[in-house]
Amino acid sequence: MSKLNVNQILANEDNPDGLENLYWSDPEAFKVTLLSAAVQKPDSKVFQVWRARLEYNSSVENPSGVPIVVVLLLATFFGLLVRIPEIFLTETWYYPRFGPFFTLLSVATYFLYKNPNFKLSIGLAIFSILTSIYLILIPDWQSFGKPDWHSDSITMALIHLPLTTLILLGICFVQQSWQDTKQRIAFVKFCGELLMLSTLILISGGVLSGLTVGFFELMNMDIVEWYMSNIGVIGIVSTPLVATYLYDSVLHRKMQIAVLLAKVFSPLFFIFVLSYIITMMILGNSPFVNREFLVGCNGLLILILGIIVFSIVTRSRDSKIIITDYINVLLVGATLLINSLALSAITFRLVEYGLTPNRFCVLGANLIVFVHLISIVFTYIQVIRQKIDFDLLRKKVVSYFPVYACWFVFVTYLLPLIFDFV
């Protein structure tokens, strides 16, 4: 339940930053409380401006929204861009290289249509062309006349390519405000809600597809292969774009599912991580000798980092310290312990078995996440001790993003060259 009251609004009448922070701490409660304050002081110009702002936002039907026709055209274009070339090329070659790439490009194009930027549009076109040429030129499994040949460096590059494209999507989202903390936080929220909405759309699409195929089978018509190769592929490629349209133009960026889930699962994941560490010690499982165990540790690190980031970025400067904050600090501390074990195991495997693209990537990613978590936990402790506010903690979280961006670009474009496509 919100703790906002009329006295807080009245006390901040001459404090623009204070009113803005109160608004973002709980927008819905602020609207109700502000209207009550405006009734008490009808001559206040500040409250009149805020009232006009709030009532305008609630009555206007998103004038800057992207028309649904444009969304459908973009979905069709990029869906066909993924589907049609596969007819002439090998499926296992084309989809891993171009499927995720074009899927995220469609979302970037959406934001450039909404907020036109000539220089950024040219940059997006150049990036798309050069990356497509790069994906065509890097070797495939048949390049060396060995059907069973496999390149770990190329595999890692293809895994990191969607993340590199996500960087460009972020730039299209924030545009000239890419250094602004609030805009970076807005993009983080967008990514979380995009994941939630895309998941819901895919589940719904799966149910619809099952019903469609099932009813055609009742008429002795087997359309599974055709349906999945055409409607299914285009639907999957279009899902993030449709989810973006729903979040941005229909829901007006007011959805909070990812944030809510992060707050709910933060204590649950702390219990899980603590149980994980205790069980690992009792059973003697070690990432030093168990490769799958090491991979699991790395996946857990990324998941927990996402939960912590979402738990932090939604806090306002004046947010009160609650039990969840203490749990988050403990969760980061436990995660750092797992991260330390993973780093030790990776170092051991490097010394014992030598350097490979996989080990190099895992080591680099773990080091980057480790430094970020260290920075977060020390800043978080200062917040809990009330030496700094949540604004500085949020800034500390998002200011580290360029490090991830540089790493994604390096692995995507340089790692295969350094390891000679091995």
Residue-wise pLDDT for 156-183, tens only, equals 999 999 999 999 999 999 988 788 888 8
Please check whether residue 408 is in contact with residue 160, taking contact to mean a CB–CB distance below 8 angstroms.
yes
Structure token digits, residue 198: 């895309």
Residue 185 pLDDT > 60? yes
Please check whether residue 12 is in contact with residue 26, taking contact to mean a CB–CB distance below 8 angstroms.
no
Q: Is 79 helix (H, G, I), strand (E, B) or coil?
A: helix
Please check whether residue 329 is in contact with residue 384, taking contact to mean a CB–CB distance below 8 angstroms.
yes
List, as one string, the DSSP characters of 141-159. TTTTS-TT---HHHHHHHH
Which of 47-51, 178-182, 240-244 has the highest average model confidence (pLDDT)? 240-244
Residue 216 pLDDT > 60? yes
Could you tell me which of 69, 140, 144 has the C-alpha nearest to residue 98? 140
Q: Which amino acid is at 379?
A: T
For the chain, helix (H) and strand (E) counts, in that order, are 18, 0
pLDDT average, residue stretch 188-198: 92
Question: pLDDT digits over 125-158, tens only?
Answer: 999 999 999 999 988 755 544 555 578 899 999 9
Please check whether residue 116 is in contact with residue 96, taking contact to mean a CB–CB distance below 8 angstroms.
no
Question: pLDDT digits over 361-385, tens only?
Answer: 988 998 999 999 999 999 999 999 8
- Model confidence, pTM: 0.80
At residue 382, the pLDDT reads: 92
Cα 163 from Cα 405, distance rounded (Å): 8
Please check whether residue 156 is in contact with residue 139, taking contact to mean a CB–CB distance below 8 angstroms.
no
Determine which of 59-68, 131-140, 207-216, 226-235 has the lowest per-residue pLDDT on average.
59-68
At residue 316, the pLDDT reads: 73
Please check whether residue 245 is in contact with residue 71, taking contact to mean a CB–CB distance below 8 angstroms.
yes
At residue 73, the pLDDT reads: 95
Q: Is 68 helix (H, G, I), strand (E, B) or coil?
A: helix
Could you tell me which of 101, 223, 206, 219 has the C-alpha nearest to residue 162? 101
Please check whether residue 239 is in contact with residue 198, taking contact to mean a CB–CB distance below 8 angstroms.
yes
